[in-house]
Amino acid sequence: MNHRFFIVLVAVVIAPGLTLAQSGNTDMPLRTPDGHPDISGIFTFRTLTPLERPAALEGQDTLSAEDAAQFEASERVRLNRDLFDPVDGAPSAGYQSRAEGGVLSYNEFWYERGIELTSDKRTSLVIDPPEGRIPYTPEFRTANRIRRLNLRNGFADHYTDRSLGDRCLMGSNSGPPMRPGSYNNNVHIFQTPNYVALLNEHIHNVRIIPIDRDHLDVPQWVGSSRGHWEGETLVVETTNFARATNFSGSSEDTHLIERFTRLDSDTVMYEFTIEDPNNYTRPFTVAIPFRRTDGVLFEYACHEGNYGMTGIMAGARRKNTQKVTALDQ
């Protein structure tokens, strides 16, 4: 019922001034009738380019065409679920062996992670700091290792012990901020003179962004987003998060700046900068190309009725996993 409400709300807010840009029309105008850059359309942001630069590629901002082809081929094999051993798991892809409690879930049919790097063959989506790594504080790194251990071990004494993704409340890649994930890396951008709306396929989240309006001083899970134009770029500032966002390391004190810039009829460059002194030693910036796609967005049902959480809780209690509170020295 709530999901239907959000979809109707987008239609009511956006319909009076839909822009001329439509997916599939490569000759579309790049400006709206009111003169602003046209960033609307249906886009995909799937890519094999990792968020952070792998240690093996330290010091390499980009790859040559030959090295990029080798990296892409290697990643397509490493991540292919159909090649995972159900007993031994796939440690290099983050999956434990069966003896360690690992369970292989989806097969490769369900994945839509992309098959190639970004067109400039970057080795990380993080562009600042220049080393392509997120500047986590040491304290957060320790806390995050503990959190991951509890998730991997199946600890769930209460539903709030599980992630928002497990609970089907927020998509891991739909943000804010948006970033590539394993599947459903698609977004439909709607645009009018007074609003921009982002409809993400993952968990079908909708974020409606007023233009040139004051922030609401009301904490929300997706924060309070407000946009304004700086030349050819839509700049969106988001504050007032009610809790940590779904981006690793963020907290309710996250200050997020997103930038949407139309590069050509097929591409919108999406950049975001996060500042949060609680868990990062400095601000950092990520750049992701949004590429036009002719496909439509599909409903993401997740596990309707949240029956998946019942199974997670029942399994955790049967296993009687104890919560990890500190790392062994």
User: Does pLDDT of 79 surpass 80?
Assistant: yes
DSSP 223-282: -EEEEEEETTEEEEEEE-BSS--SSTT--TT-EEEEEEEEEETTEEEEEEEEE-TTTBSS
Q: Does residue 111 contact residue 182 with C-beta atoms inside 8 Å?
A: yes
What are the angstrom distances between the C-alpha of 184 and each of 47, 54, 161, 173, 328? 12, 24, 25, 8, 38
| Alpha-helix runs per DSSP H in 79-224 | 138-152
pLDDT given for residue 35 in this prediction: 93
Say which residue, 146 or 154, is predicted with more confidence.
146
Question: How far does CA 208 lie from the centroid of its chain?
Answer: 17
Lowest-confidence region among 10-14, 182-186, 292-296: 10-14
Percent of the chain with pLDDT over 70: 89
Q: Residue 10 belongs to what H/E stretch?
A: helix 2-14
User: How many Å separate Cα 293 from the centre of its chain?
Assistant: 18
Using omega within 30 degrees of 0 as the cis cutoff, is the peptide bond preceding 129 cis? yes
Question: Which of the two residues, 13 and 59, has the higher pLDDT score?
Answer: 59
Omega before 177 cis (within 30°)?
yes
Cα-Cα-Cα-Cα torsion 26, 123, 68, 177, nearest 10 degrees, comes to -30
Q: Buried (b) or exposed (e) across 134-164, using 16+ Cβ within 10 A?
A: bbbeeebeeeeeebeebebbbbbeeeebbeb
Distances (CA, A) of 274 to 70, 84, 223, 282: 32, 35, 13, 9
Q: Is the pLDDT of residue 81 over 90?
A: no
The answer to whether residue 163 scores a pLDDT higher than 80 is no
Summarize the confidence of residues 201-213 as an average pLDDT: 92
User: What would the mean pLDDT of 115-127 be, rounded to a whole number?
Assistant: 97
Please give the average per-residue pLDDT across 295-324, as a whole number: 80
Task: Name the most confidently modeled range: 50-54, 145-149, 322-326.
Answer: 50-54
pLDDT at 20: 37
- Residue 70's φ and ψ, nearest 5 degrees, are -65, -45
pLDDT-derived band at 7, boundaries 50, 70, 90: very low
Confidence class for position 106, pLDDT limits 50, 70, 90? confident
Dihedral of alpha carbons 127, 128, 131, 134, sign? negative
Cα 205 to Cα 194: distance, rounded to the nearest angstrom: 20
**Rounded to whole angstroms, how far apart are CA atoms 225 and 239?**
7
Percent of the chain predicted with pLDDT > 90: 50
Q: pLDDT-based confidence at 313, cuts 50/70/90?
A: confident
Mean pLDDT of 63-74: 97
Residue 272 has phi, psi (to 5 degrees) of -140, 145
Q: In the structure, what pLDDT confidence band is assigned to residue 309 with cuts at 50, 70 and 90?
A: confident
- Per-residue pLDDT, averaged over 36-63, amounts to 97
The whole-angstrom separation of Cα 186 and Cα 199 is 9
Closest by CA position to 178, among listed 251, 271, 297 = 271
Q: What is the pLDDT of residue 242?
A: 84
* Mean pLDDT score of the chain: 85
Most confident of 12-21, 147-156, 265-274, 320-329: 265-274
5 pLDDT band, cuts 50/70/90, is very low
pLDDT at residue 305, rounded to an integer: 65
**For residue 145, is pLDDT > 70?**
yes
Mean pLDDT confidence for 317-322? 79
Q: ∠ CA(158), CA(160), CA(164), 5° rounding?
A: 140
